[in-house]
Chain A
Amino acid sequence: MATFDVHVIIENKPGISDPEGETILNDLVLKGTHSVISKIKTAKMLKFTIKEKDKKSAKTKVQEICDELRIYNPMVSKVTIDVFDA
C-alpha cells in the first residue's frame, strides 16, 4: 500500500453560469487591462489523502466516495480527479 494525494475539482458544467468567475474576470482582471484573458471559471478543490495499492485504485475509490456521498451535485457540477504521489 502507498499513500496518494487525490485532488477532486468540482466545477459547474459548461453552460451553467458562474457569476463568481465572471465577476473576477470582468471587474478585476479585465479592469487591470489583462485583455489576453478571455475566461475565468471558479471551482472547489478537495484534497484527499488515501492509502491504496496504486494510482488507479486510489482514483476509483475517491470517485466512488464522491458519487456515493454526493460530494458534487450531478445536475450542475462535474468533477475532475487527479492522483499524485504523496
Chain B
Amino acid sequence: MKVGVIVFPGSNCDRDMYHVLTDVFKLNAEYFWHEKGLPKNIDAVILPGGFSYGDRLRSGAIAAHSPIIKDVRKMAEKGIPILGVCNGFQILVEAGLLPGALLKNTSLNFMCKWTNLIVENNTTPFTNKLKLHQKIPIPIANGEGRYYVDDETLKKLKKKNQIVFRYSEVVNGSSDKIAGVCNEDGNVVGMMPHPERAAESEINPIDNKPSSLIFESLLNTIGVKN
C-alpha cells in the first residue's frame, strides 16, 4: 500500500504530509516530482499545500497543467482516493477535478489561525471514520481560501452531497461557509485547512483526535490496520 505525495515547485507542506503519513500513521509514502508520472501501484494521492509557482496567475492555475496531473486525472476516474490540501485543493479546482474557485479572502489578509470544521459528509475515503457533524479543530493558512460557487453549482453540491466540510462560523467569506468539497464520486476531496498540522498532540493544543481520523479514514479505505 503506497501513498503518493506530489511535489510541485513551491510546495512547502510536502514534508509535513510525508512525516504524518510515514512516522505517525506508518504508511508507505513516496514523493513524486510534478514532471514525472505516477506508477500504477499507487493506492492514494495527496497534493500538499504550499505556493506552487509562487501563486502566479492565481493559486494553483499553473500547477494544474503539470504533466503529473494527467495521471492524477486518470486515477481520479478509477476511483483512487485523492486529497488536495490548501494549495493542493486550489490545484484540483484549477484542474477541473473539483468544482468552484478559490478567491482572495474577504479580509484581503493571509489568514493563519485555528478554525473549527464541521463534518458534512462522512462517506468519503478521508472522512469515513469521522462522525457526521463532528467538530474538527484545525489550522488554516492561506490568502486565497475563499471558496466560491455560483448558486446553481451550490444547489448541485448539496444535492449530490459534495460538501465535505464547513467552517463552524464565517471565516473568510466562503460560499455557504464551505471549507472542503468532493467530486460526484466522492473519491477526490479538497480542503483548505491543514490536517497534517493537527494530527499530533505535540502540535495541536486543542484536540488532535479529529484530524487524525482523517488519516485513519484513509488507512481504513485502503485496507491498512494501524
Contact = CB atoms under 8 A, between A and B. Distances in A.
A70 B94 contact: yes
Contacts of B100: 75
A69 B150 CA distance: 22
Contact of B104 (A20, A70, A77): A20
A16 interface: yes
A73 B153 CA distance: 14
A19 B101 contact: no
Which label, helix, strand, loop or mixed, suits the secondary structure of the A interface? loop
Contacts, number: 37
Contacts of A12: 103
Contacts of B108: 19-20, 23
A70 B100 CA distance: 13
A25 B116 CA distance: 33
Given A19-B106, A20-B108, A70-B64, A75 B150 contact: yes
Given A20-B108, A23-B108, A69-B65, A76 B94 contact: no
Interface of B: 57-58, 61, 64-65, 93-94, 96, 99-101, 103-108, 148-150, 153, 173
24 contacts: A17-B106, A17-B173, A19-B105, A19-B106, A19-B107, A19-B108, A19-B173, A20-B104, A70-B61, A70-B64, A70-B94, A70-B96, A71-B57, A71-B61, A73-B58, A73-B61, A73-B94, A73-B101, A75-B148, A75-B149, A75-B150, A76-B103, A76-B148, A77-B101
Given A19-B104, A75-B150, A76-B148, 5 more contacts: A16-B103, A19-B173, A20-B108, A71-B61, A75-B99
Interface of A: 12, 16-17, 19-20, 23, 69-71, 73, 75-77
